[in-house]
Amino acid sequence: MSTAPPRRASLFRRVAAALAVLTLPVAGLVAIAGPAEAAASATATYTKVSDWGSGFEGKWTVKNTGTTTLSSWTVEWDYPAGTAVTSAWDATVTSSGTHWTGKNVGWNGTLAPGATVSFGFNGTGAGAPSGCKINGGSCDGGTNPTDNPPSAPGTPTASGVTDTGLTLGWAAATDDKGVKNYDVFRGGAKIATVTSPSYTDSGLTKGTTYTYTVTARDTIDQTGPSSGALSVTTTGGVVDPPPPGGPVKLGYFTNWGVYGRNYHVKNLVTSGSAAKITHINYAFGNVQGGKCTIGDSYADYEKAYTADQSVDGVADTWDQPLRGNFNQLRELKKKYPNIKVLWSFGGWTWSGGFGQAAANPAAFAQSCYDLVE
């Protein structure tokens, strides 16, 4: 076996030693710069595919803009309070408060240079995504990560309260690019959009309590978090004497309010209403064939709530046997044991089964009991 001449062997040793010395800082550099390099080599673009009023379909498209293959990808973004993902496909989507994360599933993590992959989801709320990141770095796609949503306006105050009107005022929100306007909500429903931090509401009912909140919108229509809630009662009105056994303070909670109005059981807590009422009429159940039946299964017991949307601050799970308004009302009952929840049936087109119910009241009553159970 031949051996290298001493001078050549010595040269090999010097070269090997030099490479060993160089390898250490290069390895350290890769470990430190890895996330930034990965982020710089990919983009994420958001598209709102459709919007049906009570919800929407969104899509993120990830593209490998680098020269090496990506083995995985993670997209992060923020939604304002009231906007949330309800279901997703082609990615694992999780949340922490208003911060959302979409990670590749097993079969679509590898992305060759120039290749793209998309994942979609359904959601509720009107907010736009902000603060997009791909693999820890800024997105270069359809969202602008440097344009943050506005801050929450100050809690409104009321002045000039009369039997039928009042004027709201609030501390202005702040935004890095400027505030375009404010959305004013009464009882969870948007009633006006104004450019200045004040609004005069009219056509109200005397002696009635109303709850107001305000959100700010920036120049690209990103919505910030909601202000604190103001409850104010108009003047006038006649206070009826309390019924025997104490006063009843009752209000309707409509199951369809979770759609366009974006009003949920938690709003009873944040608005201060839960601390004041004694009874809730949950509206409505249907009456079919002389029996009590479900009116809206999705709103009643299927809709999944995130932690920030839930009364108890705990997110619903996919295999939870009871979700939706019913579960939220149960959590409200735990928090406010004095509240009595009643289920209202019929009304308008849902009253067609009352004729058969009247023919057999006992069977009708039993059907209602069985449905509740």
Q: Centre a 10 Å sphere on the Cβ of residue 205 and count the other Cβ atoms it contains.
A: 12
**Least reliable range by pLDDT among 89-98, 145-154, 166-175, 287-296:** 145-154
Rounded average pLDDT over 293-317: 91
pLDDT for the residue numbered 274: 87
Q: Which fold has domain 149-239?
A: Immunoglobulin-like (2.60.40)
* pLDDT tens sequence across 351-369: 888 888 888 888 888 988 8
Among 93-102, 183-192, 195-204, 335-344, the least confident range: 335-344
CATH assignment, 240-373: 3.20.20.80
Q: How far apart are CA 156 and CA 184, in angstroms?
A: 10
Strands 279-288 and 340-345, by their bridges, are parallel
| b/e code 319-331 from CB counts within 10 Å (16+ = b) | eeeebbbbbbbeb
Class of domain 42-138: mainly beta
Segment 220-234, tens digit of pLDDT? 778 889 999 999 988
Ranking 132-146, 181-195, 308-322, 353-367 by mean pLDDT, the lowest is 132-146
Q: Is the pLDDT of residue 304 over 90?
A: yes
**Fold agreement (42-138, 149-239):** yes
83 close to 123: Cβ distance less than 8 angstroms: yes
Alpha carbon distance 289, 299 (integer Å)? 22
* Prediction pTM value: 0.37
Whose CA is closest to 121, among 73, 76, 89, 80? Answer: 89
Domain spans in the chain, listed from the N-terminal domain onward: 42-138, 149-239, 240-373
> How many CB atoms neighbour CB 256 within 10 A?
14
CB of 364 closer than 8 Å to CB of 291: yes
Average pLDDT over residues 201-212: 91
